[in-house]
Amino acid sequence: MSIPQKSPVRITIPAGKTAIVNFATNSSAKESFRITDSNGKEVCSGAGTGTGPKVQPSQTFVAEAGGIYKVSIDSYDTPNMILDSNSSMVSNGIVYAQSYLFISEDASDNDYNDTFLNISWFQNNG
């Protein structure tokens, strides 16, 4: 069970892995996300508005040494409350893929349907 927490949230991605980022909005407010590395450098970001939901273009980035990232989800530059989960696909002790899923709440109705963000990586590329 996920406990709501205020943005940002910390995640780990192994160095050299390509992360695939998918983002969608379901709000008339401006929703945005930002992923930064351990030095505060932005590696991926996006913003949009729209209901239905409105899917934004996918993005990728390659994880650097250290692999620790902060994920921020905001509405009009105000941190959202986030519910998050992660899952891994493991066989014979090898993690072949991992996904982080975030949904956010930008107001007070507690519907947690304003932003959807998924970050996934695979063990092997190509």
CB 83 within 8 Å of CB 2: yes
Question: How far is residue 16's CA from residue 81's CA, in Å, rounded to a whole number?
Answer: 30
Give me the pLDDT at residue 5, please.
86
- Per-residue pLDDT, averaged over 22-36, amounts to 93
Q: What is the pLDDT of residues 44-80, one digit of tens each?
A: 999 999 888 899 999 999 999 889 999 999 998 898 8
Domain boundaries, the chain: 5-122
Confidence of residue 93 (pLDDT cuts 50, 70, 90): very high
- Per-residue pLDDT, averaged over 71-91, amounts to 92
pTM of the full predicted structure?
0.92
Question: How far is residue 70's CA from residue 92's CA, in Å, rounded to a whole number?
Answer: 30
Fold designation for 5-122: Jelly Rolls (2.60.120)
Q: Shortest CA distance to 115 belongs to which of 53, 71, 58, 70?
A: 53
